[in-house]
Chain A
Amino acid sequence: MKISRRTIVGALGAASMLAFGTSAMAQDYPTKRITIIVPYSAGGATDILARQVADGLSKVLDETVTVENRPGAGATLGTTQAANARPDGYTLFMGQVSSHGIAPAVYKNLQYDPVADFAPIKLLMSIPNVMVVNKDSPFQTAGEFLEAAKAEGKTFGSSGVGSSIHLSGEMFKSRTGANMTHVPFRGSGEAVPALLAGDVDVMFDNLPSAMPHIESGALRALAVTTPERSPKLDGVPTLDELDIPELDGFAARSWFGLLAPSGTDAAVIATLSEALDQVIASEAFVNFADTRGADIEGGSPEEFSAFIASELASWKTVVDDAGVTVE
């Protein structure tokens, strides 16, 4: 089904290229509405970012850019649809750590290939995960927590099986051998209150959802999971720098990037890449990233391809070690 459709679309694309010539199409691009597919429901972190990007792109390209939400099955449903979309540059995809990092490792019967079915355009933004505990928790450092967790068993909350929050916890658990029980919730919005109330002991939350509570003092940040410290949390060490041998080189973060279905004209990709450079440099976007504690990324399409390959490999290791798979 998938293959036949792609073949037809590809054939049609080739036919139209013959008729109008590649360069003419790419030069005119864009001539109509562009759609960004978001594999999550409206209002989530990915959706809000996509709307920000759509707003910026429509100003730079002077053409309407809209967001289409196609949620379901842990982001894999919308991703499959984007993979099968017509590669004409008018359907783009907001990829993230789940669709192009974790899901391929977790889901066995995935219906898209994160590498072969997509043409990466640009890595836009990344956000660190941050190890947070309740303000009343006795632990002041990640080391103290680790010792306690090895001795008596702790619980960690997450936004669901296979989320980056869950797998950061699993990564911590499998590396250190700590005795931690995973308590899944449906989304960060449900998990954070449980942490605030002390029903779970720790969480490796995405920084944007934890940030307000860290600022208000309700949560205490023990460490960030990125290789470098986050500019938003200067005083918080990385797990890597803690002098705990098991945690050397610990890196887990969430990221977002724009992709097109594979087969999209290289000139179109280049146009979009340039436009996105302007978008992420704009004051509005810098502000947006800043309020959420996110780092603006950027770089070329090739760099993004290499990044995706490395992410796929490293999450595969975590998932295999932790033994989390969905049949």
Chain B
Amino acid sequence: MSETTTQTNARKGRRREILFAALTLAASVLFGLFVIPGGVATPASVKHLPLSPAFLPYLLTGAIGIFALIHLLEAIFAPHIPADEEAGALDAHPKWKSRVLMLIALLLVYLLLPDQVGMLVTSMVVTIALLAMGGERRPVILIGVGISVPLLVYLFFTQVAQVPMPLGFFEDWM
């Protein structure tokens, strides 16, 4: 690694740390000003301050703000220490944006579909899709693993561990 790339990386890293600290600081301020008063119901009479339901949230938010400020000052004034993983984090997949979207779509399928078509079918669909996304092209593996493994795991959960899984519209057939 040449001197210049090290310096560019350090500058990028420092900018990222400053951005992170500034965002955290802003978030803690917003949280303290709006989210806590809106999200925590405080009873009318509280004898001692620590007994209030809002006490700990305020305390924690304040502490987060202070540490974010420290981090910000550190990132601005002290030399940047490259983290170990920074180098490795750069080799993103060439089509990572479309892959992220696909992944989000598949995760949403896992969240929304089981109530409609049942957990078994959902897991088969997503597993096959992910196998294909991971680069698997052999139909035997795609279909074999994609169907048999979800089925076995499903049977284990429902029959051995006695955990009921969503059946979706299959419920009406049974």
Contact = CB atoms under 8 A, between A and B. Distances in A.
Interface of A: 12, 35, 66, 68, 86, 327
Interface in B148-174: 162, 164, 171-172
A169 to B, nearest CB: 18
7 contacts: A12-B172, A35-B164, A66-B162, A68-B162, A68-B164, A86-B171, A327-B41
Interface string B13-32: 00000000000000000000
Contacts of A68: 162, 164
Contacts of B41: 327
Nearest to A181: B47
Interface string B73-117: 000000000000000000000000000000000000000000000
A35 B167 CA distance: 15
Interface of B: 41, 162, 164, 171-172
A66 B171 CA distance: 18
Contacts of A66: 162
A12 B164 CA distance: 21
Nearest to B171: A86
A35 B162 CA distance: 10
A82 to B, nearest CB: 13
Nearest to B163: A68
A68 B161 CA distance: 11
A77 to B, nearest CB: 15
A35 B174 CA distance: 15
A86 B174 CA distance: 12
Contacts of B172: 12
Contacts of B164: 35, 68
B38 to A, nearest CB: 13
A198 to B, nearest CB: 22
A141 B3 CA distance: 84
A12 B171 CA distance: 11
A28 to B, nearest CB: 15
A33 B164 CA distance: 12
Nearest to A8: B172
A160 to B, nearest CB: 15
A100 B171 CA distance: 28
